[in-house]
Amino acid sequence: MKRSEPLRRTEPLKRSEPPQRAEALKRSAIRRKRRRQSPHEAEAAARWHRGIMGLTCVRCRRKPATDAHHIIREQVLKREAFRRGFVFELMRWHVDNRLALCRQCHEDHHHGKPISRELLWRCAPRVFAFARRLHIEHVLEREYPDTNPKGATAP
């Protein structure tokens, strides 16, 4: 059956009002509430970051290092500390878990161009002993791809 007239609304659609900006910021701040660092933790973090001053990026070897990269991510360390019983706060800022990178290489690593395991072997071999001590070698195998897998021959 055909209609002779198109359907029309008797009332306009009601749209909900967007929350006020201040209220939205307050809600997001509540969700993201972070624990403040103790003075001891803040000093350890500053010492960890200062350790890369004057170094060049280990990946591109052209630019000065501006970012200190956690080789084994903090969230992984926290999870494994809970599982295996070591103290997360002591391992979080351990110098064996640090890599000096420039800002661009650091962003590239976190956005799809991972650092190779071969580069870690050359520039930060101490991280493998660090992971072995904590019994988390599997994390390095998962996070950092092997550029020359077993059975493949180098060109």
The pLDDT of residue 24 is 61
Confidence of residue 153 (pLDDT cuts 50, 70, 90): very low
Q: Is residue 98 part of a domain?
A: yes
**Which pTM value belongs to this model?**
0.69
Closest alpha carbon to 126 in 100, 99, 101: 99
Rounded to the nearest integer, the mean pLDDT of the chain is: 83
Q: How many domains does the chain have?
A: 1
**pLDDT number for residue 154:** 42
Q: For position 80, what pLDDT does the model report?
A: 92
Residue 151 domain flag: no
Kindly state the average pLDDT of the residues 61-89: 92
Residue 136 belongs to some domain of the structure: yes
Question: pLDDT by residue (tens digit) across 6-32?
Answer: 777 777 777 665 555 656 655 555 555
Q: What is the mean pLDDT of residues 114-132?
A: 92
CB–CB of 124/93 below 8 Å? no
Q: Which domain holds residue 95?
A: 39-143
17 in a domain, yes or no?
no
Residues in the chain, how many? Answer: 155
Residue 27 in any domain: the answer is no
- Asked whether residue 22 is domain-assigned, the answer is no
- Is 26 part of a structural domain of the chain? no
Query: Residue 40 corresponds to which tokens in the numbers above?
Result: 């001891």
Tokens matching residue 31: 């969700």
| pLDDT for the residue 65 | 93
For the segment 42-67, what is each residue's pLDDT rounded down to a tens digit? Answer: 898 899 999 999 999 999 999 999 99
Q: Does the residue 23 lie in any domain?
A: no
Mean pLDDT along residues 70-79? 93
